[in-house]
Structure 1
Amino acid sequence: MTRDDSIQTAGRTAGETATASAAAPRRTVLLLLTALSVLPVNIYLPALPKIAATFQADFALVNLSIAGYAVINALTEIIAGAMSDRYGRRPVALIAVSIFIVASIGCALAPNIGIFLFFRVMQASIAACFCVALVVIKETAGERQAANRIGYAAMGWAIAPMLGPTFGGVLDEMFGWRAIFVTLALLGAAILAISMRELKETSGHATRPRGNYFASYGQLLSSARFWAYAACMACSTGTLYIFLGGASLAVGTSLGGSSAKLGFFMGMVPAGFIFGSYLAARFARKSLSRTLVIARLSTCMGLLLGLVLSISGVTHVLAFFGPCVFIGIGNGLTFPAANLGVMSVRAHLAGTAAGLAAAMSIAGGALIASIAGLFLEKAGAVPTLFLMLLISASLALSAALFAAFIDRRSANSIADGEPAESW
């Protein structure tokens, strides 16, 4: 891999900082944009059977609304990040929310399953707001303050999908499934109005990239530092996906087949993520790579404890879910540091980096979970599940250590008076 021209975490020019500070939006609008980017993922899931009945469609066909949304979501992250670098953060966010509003109305009024699926996929445009919010935070704050703000934004990002299914289920019971999409459209309209007033442009015309998009991606993909942070995110996401896919298979029978109990205990991991994000927001004083190492070590230690307990024959439900809480805590700490890390590789490509890393994280996490699933065929195989979790978490720790090595090497080069370079 080639060396980058500089390690751009050192800061921005005084002019860029002044511009960013003047354009700094209120924290609320960024929290709302981040939450809205994930709320549509699962808010409508309790209503899937009724949607299938309304359109007299096969349930498997309706389920395409999940897979199709996920694919377009990842593509949107990649494209929108690069567009925000080239055309500005504000217009990309406003267009994304506008498309989301139209798509939500289309879902609510859809007369057949084909039109419903079309507009449902269009809803994925809101994913653009995720990377835009992260980049705006970075451009309107110093590194430590940015980690603090992203930590608080991550709390909203975690809470929204936790409450989404419950909220959607209530709307479905009271008013029917179409009310879910009407509500999403209204939320989108409210956030659009707030964004038009509060969200200011933070990228300067002089710093916007020129040339084709592929060249921008190439600059990032040629950086070992980008790969280190992105790989840490992907393996951390993979650890979460392995847990989500294997928890019910591993301990479902010990809970008497109760979905309510399983859902309660599985909720401990998202709660851990919120706590980890809170810690990241409150104690964002260490270097990015050092924070990553601490985060990944905590997850590995928790999962190692779980593996030891399971091998020792301890079968209490808390002996499984207790150690798994560290998946959430570690990911909550990882989220702000890793995203700031990838966005700092090339300051003028922050949006491209955020979008590309997010897509790589989703795809990489899914790949890791799919491979682990091949070893999780037997119900009750708790030690095997913990082993798969620990392997994925160890890969994330290795990536974090590599990121720390690269950052230290670059820092030493600067201290020695050499040209600031990173791999």
Structure 2
Amino acid sequence: MQQPSRFLDAGTPPHIITLVLMAAVGALNMNIFLPSLPGMAAWFETDYALVQLTVSLYLAGTALLQLFLGPLSDRFGRRPVMLASLWLFLAATLVCVFAPTIEILLIGRVLQSVVIAGLVLSRAVVRDMVGTAKAASMIGYVTMGMTLVPMLGPTLGGILDQLFGWQANFVVTFIFGVIVLVVVWRDLGETNETMSASFAQQFRAYPELLRARRFWGYALTATFASGAFFSFLGGGPYVASNVLGMAPHEVGYHFFFIALGYMIGNFLAGRFSIVIGLNPMMVIGNFVAACGMVLSIGLFLAGFFHPMAFFGPIFFVGFGNGMTLPNANAGVVSVRPHLAGSASGLGGAMMIGGGAGLSVIASASLSPETGPYPLLVTMLISSMAGVAASLYVVYASRRSGVAATALEDAAPDRIVGE
């Protein structure tokens, strides 16, 4: 039985503020420098496609690391893994600040990906603390709280770039990382009360997860939903700067739309997931995101080459993802509750790895001649695939006899192939 949380008391489970900060530091690290990408290409005298690797290689690194961070936390505990990850992240951020070449910067970005531990372990900690249906609601509130960071991050990054240069973005990220480290040290009590006997045991458990149909459904839903978002992160700055002619600070301001949509979607997930159910919320969220992309493509085809034709409909992608991802992630870690850390890591690796691939595809296909269409079509296809994956979860849940409105805590261990 978990003790009640007391803020800044490491002898109790963490306060929700700590979970928000754990997830938020990675979100800030991901997007604060995005408005600077075209300027960084000029600074290092290299192609935009090479500088964009600071996004896609970072995503690839987070995908790989999640395969290990989840099992490590199941074996050694959430607290020591989170603290070690933050120390490594701070060292990598300093590498980025002082990088003399694009190659050193890319190395620093890959090393920075260890901060994904905050997102992986916040989900696992939530599942340690509460049941499945409540986990979806709590994850929704955690991600809603952390959304303030990506709402402000690109805007802040654009202003910092204009005033001090792109390096200032990494300096601010370092300072925020130090704050998070202090809070985690003081507040993150250990929540893993059933640590595995060995690290290898967790990897031997992966086949059990991979045999679960619902795990695949939830993981693919999260992969395709986030794929649209990561495609936007990789290609959005190029479209804004090179197609629409926007300055870095203007790009930062307009990132507000997708973050605002995500926050509202998170609020709805936190408020209604426990009533409507995980699966219906995922279907609705992916459908809304797909509709946003249809709207944007229609506006550009009609000749409206205006920032709002791009960033306005992006609001619906954020809104849909905000509804989808808390429910999909809650499903991922609840199919096998005793493997919550491993499930979070494996599901996260699939989600981020797929996003990295889509980000590279979307960015590599963009040019002044193509306009925004390769990016928008990639995002539309990804969102539609998310709808299909969500419907598969509904199908698999019905076949397994698991409630569609709220997963039963006992159900995941009942049917091996569910």
Residues 64, 92 of structure 1: alpha-carbon distance in 2 compared, 3 angstrom cutoff: same
Write out aligned runs for 1:232-381 (5 A).
Answer: 232-243=221-232, 257-259=245-247, 264-265=253-254, 267-285=256-274, 286-304=276-294, 313=302, 315=304, 317=306, 321-368=311-358, 379=370
Q: CA deviation at 1:228?
A: 0.6
Corresponding residue for 1:143? 132
**1:278, distance to aligned residue in structure 2 (A):** 1.6
- State the match for 1:75 in structure 2: 64
Query: Does structure 1 residue 420 correspond to structure 2 residue 410?
Result: no
Partner SS, residue 201 of structure 1: coil
Change (3 A) 1:174 1:303: closer
For 2:123, the equivalent position in structure 1 comes to: 134
Tell which deviates more after alignment, 396-405 or 234-243.
Answer: 234-243
> Whole-Å Cα distance in 2 between the matches of residues 57 and 371 of structure 1?
23
What's the CA shift for 1:371? Answer: 5.7
CA shift for structure 1 position 281: 1.7
Q: Which amino acid aligns with 2:342?
A: T
* CA gap 1:308/1:182 in 2 versus in 1, 3 angstroms: closer
> Greater Rg, structure 1 or structure 2?
1
Residues 191 and 281 of structure 1: is their aligned pair in 2 closer, same or farther, counting only changes over 3 Å? same
The answer to whether the 8 A contact 2:60-2:352 is kept is no
For normalisation by structure 2, the TM-score amounts to 0.79
Tell me the matched-pair count: 399
Percentage identity across paired residues of the two chains: 37
Task: For 2:342 and 2:414, locate their aligned partners in 1 and report how far apart those are by CA, in whole Å.
Answer: 22
C-alpha separation in 2, matches of 1:242 and 1:360: 15
Q: CA deviation at 1:80?
A: 0.8
Aligned residue runs from structure 1 range 127-206, under 5 A: 127-171=116-160, 180-205=169-194
Q: Distance in 1 between matches of 2:84 and 2:282?
A: 34
Structure 2 residue identity aligned to 1:420: R
Aligned residues of 2:57 and 2:356 also touching (Cα < 8 A)? no
Please state how far the C-alpha of 1:212 moved relative to its aligned partner: 4.1
Shift of residue 298 of structure 1? Answer: 2.7
Q: Which amino acid aligns with 2:2?
A: T
Which of 70, 80, 95 is the aligned partner of 2:84?
95
Q: Do the aligned partners of 1:232 and 1:396 also contact (CA within 8 Å) in 2? A: yes
Give the superposition deviation at 1:277.
1.0
Q: C-alpha distance in 1, partners of 2:227/2:270?
A: 23
How many Å apart are 1:131 and its aligned residue? 0.3
CA distance in 2, matches of 1:247, 1:180: 18
8 Å CA contact 1:147–1:336 kept in 2: the answer is yes
Q: Deviations over 1:213-243 (max 9, x none)?
A: 4322222222211111111111112233455
> For residues 162 and 306 of structure 1, what CA distance do their matches in structure 2 show?
21
Q: 1:99 to 1:241 in 2, by over 3 A?
A: closer
Normalization by structure 1: what TM-score? 0.78
How far did 1:339 drift?
A: 0.4
Give a deviation string over 1:268-312, Cα, whole Å, max 9, x none.
22321121112112223222112212222333444455666777x
Match of 1:337, as an amino acid?
N
- Structure 1: distance between partners of 2:246 and 2:122: 38
Comparing 405-414 and 31-40, the one that deviates more? 405-414
Cα separation, 2, equivalents of 1:277 and 1:43:
21
- Tell me whether 168-177 or 155-164 shows the greater mean CA deviation: 168-177
Q: How far, CA to CA, are the matches of 1:321 and 1:46 in structure 2?
A: 14
Aligned to 1:14: none
Aligned in 2, Cα 1:314/1:159: closer, same or farther, shift over 3 Å?
same
Shift of 1:72: 2.2
Go from structure 1 to structure 2 and tell me whether the alpha carbon gap of 1:398 and 1:198 turns closer, same or farther (over 3 Å shift). same
Counterpart of 1:353 in structure 2: which amino acid?
A
* 1:21–1:141 Cα contact (<8 Å) kept: no
Structure 1 residues 326 and 106: alpha-carbon distance in aligned structure 2, compared to 1, 3 A threshold: closer
How far apart are the structure 2 equivalents of 1:269 and 1:184?
21
2:372 and 2:178 map into 1 onto residues whose CA distance is 47
Deviation of 1:387 (Å): 5.5
Q: Are 1:402 and 2:392 matched, yes or no?
A: yes
Cα offset, 1:341, TM superposition: 0.6
Alignment-mate amino acid for residue 193 of structure 2: G
Give the structure 2 partner of residue 123 of structure 1: 112
* Runs of 5+ unmatched residues, structure 2: 6-11
Q: Distance in 1 between matches of 2:366 and 2:335?
A: 37
Give me the whole-angstrom Cα distance separating, in 1, the residues matched to 2:236 and 2:99.
Answer: 36
Which range moves more in the overlay, 127-136 or 245-254? Answer: 245-254
| Structure-2 separation of matches of 1:369 and 1:280 | 26
Distance 1:175 1:249 in 2: 21
Does structure 2 retain, via aligned residues, the 8 Å contact 1:85–1:208? no
Q: For 2:281 and 2:119, how far apart are their aligned partners in 1? A: 22
Q: Is residue 221–residue 389 contact of structure 2 (8 Å, CA) maintained in 1?
A: yes
For residues 98 and 369 of structure 1, do their structure 2 counterparts lie closer, same or farther at Cα, with a shift above 3 Å needed? closer
Question: What is the distance in 2 between the residues matched to 1:66 and 1:170?
Answer: 20
After superposition, the Cα gap between the structure-2 partners of 1:400 and 1:280, relative to the gap in structure 1 and judged at 3 Å, is same
CA separation of 1:241 and 1:35: change in aligned 2, threshold 3 A: closer
Q: Are 1:19 and 2:2 matched, yes or no?
A: yes
Gaps of 5+ in 1: 1-17
AA matched with 1:343: V
Amino acid corresponding to residue 87 of structure 2 in structure 1: S
2:9 maps to which residue?
Answer: none
CA distance in 1, matches of 2:240, 2:159: 28
Q: 2:414 corresponds to which letter in structure 1?
A: A
